[in-house]
Structure 1
Amino acid sequence: MQKKNSFVLVIAALMTIASMLLTSCQPTPAPTEAPKPTAVEPTKAPEPTKATEPTKAAEAEVGSAGHPIKVLFVPSTDANVIVTGGKIMADALEKATGYKFEVSVPTSYAATIEEMCASPTDTIGFIPGLGYVLANQLCGVDVAFKAVRYGSSVYWAEFIVKRDSDFKDIKDLAGKKWGYGDVGSTSGYLVPLAMFKEAGIEPGEKVATGGHPQSVKAVYNGEVDFATVFYTPPSVPEGKEAWKEGADPDIPADLIKECKVTEDKKSLMCGGYKVNDARANIREEAPDVIEKVKILAVSPSIPNDTLSFGPKFPTDIREKISKALIEFAKTDDWKNSIGKQDFYAWNGIAETTDAEYDFVRTMVEAAGITLEKLGK
Structure 2
Amino acid sequence: MRRLWGLVFIGFAFFTACASSPEVLVVTRIVPSDTAVSPPAPIEVTVEVPVEVTRLVTETVTVVETVVPDVPSLGSAERPFQLLFAPVADTAVISSRAQVLADWLTEQSGQQFQVGLLDNEQRIIDLMCAAPAETIGFLTAVGVALANQQCGAQVLHTAVQVNEMSWQAGMIVVRRDSEINELADLDGKSWAIPSESSIPNNWYFQALLAAEGIEPGEIVSVPGDNTAMLAVLNGDVDFATGTYLPPLMPFLERDWVFGEDDPEIWRQTGVSPSRSGIGFVVVLGRPENGGYRVRDARSGVFDTAEEIFEETRILTLSAPIPAASVAVGGEFPIGPAQQFADLLTEFVASDLCSDSLCAPDFYGWIGLETAVPANYDPLHFVIDTLGWTDEAVLITE
Measured after TM superposition, the shift of residue 341 of structure 1 is 9.0
2:193 corresponds to 1:179? yes
Distance of 1:89 and 1:279 partners within structure 2 = 36
What residue identity is the alignment partner of 1:367?
A: T
Corresponding residue of 1:256: 273
Task: Give a deviation string over 1:261-318, Cα, whole Å, max 9, x none.
Answer: 65xxxxx5534244555678xx6xx674895586442134455553223446677765
1:222 to 231, 235, 247: 231
Aligned counterparts, 1:314-325, within 5 A: 318=337, 321-325=340-344
1:371 is paired with a residue whose SS is coil
Structure 2, unpaired ranges of 5+: 1-70, 108-112, 287-291
Q: Percent identity?
A: 23
Measured after TM superposition, the shift of residue 371 of structure 1 is 3.0
Distance of 1:143 and 1:365 partners within structure 2 = 17
Bigger CA radius of gyration: 1
1:194 to 207, 213, 225: 207
2:370 to 339, 351, 370: 351
Matched-pair contact (CA < 8 Å) for 2:322–2:376: no
Structure 1, unpaired ranges of 5+: 1-57, 263-267
2:331 corresponds to 1:306? no
1:126 to 139, 164, 167: 139
What residue identity is the alignment partner of 1:174?
A: D
2:256 is paired with a residue whose SS is coil
Q: For this pair of structures, how many residues does the alignment match?
A: 292
2:150 corresponds to 1:138? yes
Corresponding residue of 2:389: 371
TM-score by length of 2: 0.53
Measured after TM superposition, the shift of residue 222 of structure 1 is 3.4
Measured after TM superposition, the shift of residue 142 of structure 1 is 2.2
Measured after TM superposition, the shift of residue 145 of structure 1 is 1.4
Distance of 1:290 and 1:342 partners within structure 2 = 32
Task: Give a deviation string over 1:105-139, Cα, whole Å, max 9, x none.
Answer: x6xxxx413432245444512211x4422221123
Matched-pair contact (CA < 8 Å) for 1:147–1:304: yes
Counterparts in 2 of 1:336 and 1:374: CA distance versus 1, 3 Å: same
Aligned counterparts, 1:281-292, within 5 A: 288=303, 291=306, 292=308
Aligned counterparts, 1:43-122, within 5 A: 69-72=82-85, 79=89, 88=97, 91-97=100-106, 99-101=113-115, 111-118=120-127, 120=129, 121=131, 122=135
Distance of 1:87 and 1:162 partners within structure 2 = 48
Distance of 1:342 and 1:255 partners within structure 2 = 37
Distance of 2:76 and 2:195 partners within structure 1 = 32
1:125 is paired with a residue whose SS is strand
Matched-pair contact (CA < 8 Å) for 1:141–1:310: yes
Counterparts in 2 of 1:349 and 1:156: CA distance versus 1, 3 Å: same
Counterparts in 2 of 1:177 and 1:269: CA distance versus 1, 3 Å: closer
Corresponding residue of 2:347: 328
Measured after TM superposition, the shift of residue 326 of structure 1 is 0.3
Distance of 1:318 and 1:260 partners within structure 2 = 48
Distance of 1:290 and 1:340 partners within structure 2 = 35
Distance of 1:91 and 1:191 partners within structure 2 = 35
What residue identity is the alignment partner of 1:115?
A: I
Distance of 1:207 and 1:326 partners within structure 2 = 42
Matched-pair contact (CA < 8 Å) for 2:84–2:124: no
Matched-pair contact (CA < 8 Å) for 1:133–1:360: no
Structure with more relative contact order (C-alpha pairs < 8 Å, separation 6 or more): 1
Distance of 1:275 and 1:85 partners within structure 2 = 34
What residue identity is the alignment partner of 2:346?
A: E
Measured after TM superposition, the shift of residue 238 of structure 1 is 0.9
What residue identity is the alignment partner of 2:106?
A: T
1:323 is paired with a residue whose SS is helix
1:203 to 191, 197, 216: 216
Corresponding residue of 1:6: none
Between stretches 61-70 and 95-104, larger displacement belongs to 61-70
Measured after TM superposition, the shift of residue 327 of structure 1 is 0.9
RMSD: 5.0
TM-score by length of 1: 0.56
Distance of 1:228 and 1:197 partners within structure 2 = 16
Distance of 1:288 and 1:90 partners within structure 2 = 43
Matched-pair contact (CA < 8 Å) for 1:69–1:123: yes
2:250 is paired with a residue whose SS is coil
